[in-house]
Structure 1
Amino acid sequence: MKRVFLVVLDSFGIGEMPDADQYLDAGSNTLKACSGSQKFYIPNMKHLGLFNIDGVDVSPCKEDWSRQREQLAGVYGRLTEASKGKDTTIGHWEIAGHISECPLPTFPNGFPQELLNQLEEKTGRKIICNKPYSGTEVIKDYGEEHVKTGALIVYTSADSVLQIAAHESIVSIEELYRYCEIARELCTGETGVGRVIARPFEGEAPNFQRTKRRHDYSLTPPGVTMLDQLLEKDFDVIAVGKIYDIFAGKSISSMIRTSGNEEGIEKTLEYMEKEFEGLCFINLVDFDMLYGHRNDVDGYAEALTYFDKKLPDMIKLLGDEDILMITADHGCDPSTPSTDHSREYTPLLMYGKPLKEDVNLGTRESFADISATILDYFQIPCKTKGTSFLEQIVK
């Protein structure tokens, strides 16, 4: 019974890509930023080969983490994003085998008035803000006006997103979700953002706080993905965290949303104890949402340390034909002035009884090599992008 557990550490980049300057991300290195924190301690990912990946650099105060030569337990490599962009949606789609030749649209000056007029007409509520904004700052600056008037806070970021924030006592969760569904229907063509995101919050001014009932509404992937191919061959495709939302529910056999990393890891461990054959695809969102976007280096480092501490629990539950894969979808360096995603290489760490130990895959040309390799492992002819490296890593 073959199972692959594919864990995405959301935004865990390992250094700028050659074109990072085109994205205003020159010098970004999420791993290096975190490695300088006293909260950073990840011996298990080190043992799998993280610090022996090509080009990996760590903080000078953590020299002991660098390339100490030992017999490593895992397969490791560096992945290049072939798609144009640095968005969550594009990154996950590429992991699943679809390369986006054009970036999804962004709105640095806000959304077109025509779109806002349509949204106001269909929701019956006025729109306020309509600017790129930090999610915590936007409710601080516009929360009181929203509570007084009932107007929806619509904002964006450097990513391809339309976000709607509303206080749960003013707009019920069900109502907010319905408004986001309306926005998703309206956002097509030139306004076809990758995600529409419901951003509920609660509390009183000036201490408004976002709740954990966020919900994403993504575009359907425009091409074939490994999820499609696995499901066609009757393999299970299990989604943990926001994976279901990122793929708009397409070709997923079962799913569970989570409130954050801790629950995401616990649900993954529960699936590892169940019998199924196929893929369990996991997104751990806190790295990005709570720490990268908020420039919280210590928080990010502590979250990496927590994941690393739970990694042996995952490894113990792997069966004889199981493979664990750990990667990321983009970067989000918490040490730079920007609070946005960063154009970085991502890591790939793999472990399992079917695999050789201490294999350096070098620098791969696309995240899509993951999908090609997974399909190869399940003996499915690949219809997605990417090149399989299975022959290099199996015993």
Structure 2
Amino acid sequence: MRRAVIVVIDGFGIGATPDAGPADLGMNTLAHVADAVDLRLPVLASLGLGRLVPDAVEPVQEPRAAYGRLTPVHIGADTYMGHQELMGGGLSRVEFRLMEELGDDVAAALRSAGHTVEPLVVGQSMLLVDGAVVVHDNIEARARLNVNVTASLDDIDFDALTEIGLIVRRAINVSRVIVVGSRGYDVDSIRSHIVHRGDGHIGVDTPSLGVYNEHYQVRHLGLDLPIERQLPMRVKDQGGDVVLLGKAADVVRCEGATLENIVPTDGVFDAAVRHLDGLSRGLIVANVQESDLAGHEQDAARYARVLATVDARLQELLDRLGPDDLLVITADHGNDPTSGSSRHTREYVPVLVLGQQLRPVDLGIRSSLADVGATVAELLGTEPLDSGTSFAREILCSSM
């Protein structure tokens, strides 16, 4: 096979995993969106999504795609870790620490670079940099996974904010440093939106602060993982083109890839269609971020609208699939918009795989998100990845 498209619906869970903690028991992003809103997803239903969550989507007798559940291996529920897992692993270097443990290293690195650093609140772990930028624990994912660098773009431009984020990134080994900026608030507003999650986990409630408006900008700064053994670089090494769209342009690394960091869902699909029309051989990874934002905002109606847009736009990709192409639809973690919290939820995620050479079989419950990368690597004929078990032989038509 020559071309693969992987669509990652960010925060699209389909039920709590057996190892989910007490806060995530009973979570089911898709089912709870369907409970709250009249949800109609005819394209995803035709591919087999209803076989996975029949209470949310009407199951069809003969799905067009292979369908199954993926179990996250990475700790908690995280976009960066989830994408690394989907692309083939390399998670062993990640450290799990809070700002109360990291603060001295972060402050020293920032001061060495000429910045002023002081506590945002005396006695707490959050740092105020140059009187405008707050470095704090991310509270939207599991504790110890990520650190946020948050500011108002009324006080600092995004490029300067990102430079501060890069200094923080080089100083610590948590999975992600997330640089977040928007307009319409100030440092006092940030102070008034501090949330204590317990056990030293303290951060800023960015959805309630109002960052997810039309001025929202974000950079996801990941660790320097062995990308040469992940799917995108494997495709590049065999001469294919790689296109990373949406949040994937931030959280997935590939030297020489085409990057378009787009937030609006229609914009992501516009780019995916455009690049697929011009791609002769290679890989497109497109992340739909607005579903995750709706989960953070606890807005089931917005989540349903995003899914409806995804469903409508998927048909354009399906219409463009040739005999040597495959389409994968999956997710990185859950983000139940009815959970009562802005945090990600630990859930199974769906996997739907379609191609003219592929059979629509039940894939069951897979043991890792990395099975997606391993399968696509085998179907595209690349070298093996760091992790994952391919199900290519389960879905390939017997005549191939």
Q: TM-score, normalised by structure 1?
A: 0.84
Q: Does 1:253 align with 2:244?
A: no
User: In 2, distance between residues paired with 1:312 and 1:129?
Assistant: 49
1:195 aligns with 2:200: no
Q: Which amino acid in structure 2 is aligned with residue 227 of structure 1?
A: P
> Letter of the aligned partner of 1:285 in structure 2?
Q
Query: RMSD between aligned alpha carbons?
Result: 2.8
SS at 2:333's partner residue? coil
- Cα gap change, 1:241/1:43 in structure 2, threshold over 3 Å: closer, same or farther? same
Kindly provide the amino acid, as one letter, of the partner of residue 9 in structure 2. L
Task: Provide the residue aligned with 2:51 in structure 1.
Answer: 52
Which residue identity lines up with residue 179 of structure 2 in the other structure?
A
Residue in 2 aligned with 1:232? Answer: 237
Deviations 1:260-296 (A, max 9, x none): 32211111111121133111111111111x2111111
- For 1:287 and 1:129, locate their aligned partners in 2 and report how far apart those are by CA, in whole Å: 31
User: 1:70: which partner in 2?
Assistant: 61
- 2:271 alignment counterpart: 267
Partner of 1:164: 149
Amino acid at match of 2:339: T
- Confirm whether residue 18 of structure 1 aligns to residue 21 of structure 2: no
Which residue, out of 345, 352, 356, partners 1:353? 356
Residue matched to 1:384: 386
User: Unmatched 5+ residue regions in structure 2?
Assistant: 190-208
Instruction: Specify the code of the residue in structure 2 equivalent to 1:10.
Output: D
Counterpart in the other structure of 2:318: 315
Q: Is the 8 A contact 2:334 2:345 kept in 1?
A: yes
Residue 241, structure 1, aligned to residue 243, structure 2 = no
- Please give the per-residue CA displacement for 1:165-223, whole angstroms capped at 9, x wherever unaligned: 22223212221111111111112xxxx12222221222367796452321221112246
What per-residue deviation string (whole Å, max 9, x for no partner) do you get for residues 39-66 of structure 1? Answer: 521111011001112xx353xxx6xx34
Which of the residues 270, 281, 286 maps onto 2:285?
281
1:216 to 213, 220, 234: 220
Q: Could you tell me how far apart the structure 2 residues matched to 1:285 and 1:329 are?
A: 11
Aligned to 1:134: none
Amino acid aligned to 2:240: F
- Contact kept, 8 Å, 1:84 with 1:100, in 2: the verdict is no
- Is there any run of 5+ residues in structure 1 with no aligned partner, and where? 132-137
Residue in 2 aligned with 1:154?
Answer: 135
| Aligned length, in residue pairs | 367
Matched, 1:176 2:161: yes
| Residues 130 and 154, structure 1, Cα contact 8 Å, conserved in 2 | no
The farther-off stretch of 120-129 and 154-163 is: 120-129
8 A Cα contact 1:39 1:305, kept in partner: no
1:79 to 45, 51, 70: 70
Number of the residue aligned with 1:368: 370
User: Structure 1 residues 106 and 25, CA, compared in 2 at 3 Å: closer, same or farther?
Assistant: farther
Report the secondary structure of 1:238's partner residue: strand
User: Equivalent pairs: percent with the same residue?
Assistant: 28
Alignment of 1:99-138 (within 5 A): 100=91, 104-107=95-98, 111-127=102-118, 129=120
TM superposition score normalised by structure 2: 0.83
Would you say the 8 A contact 1:123–1:179 is kept in 2? no
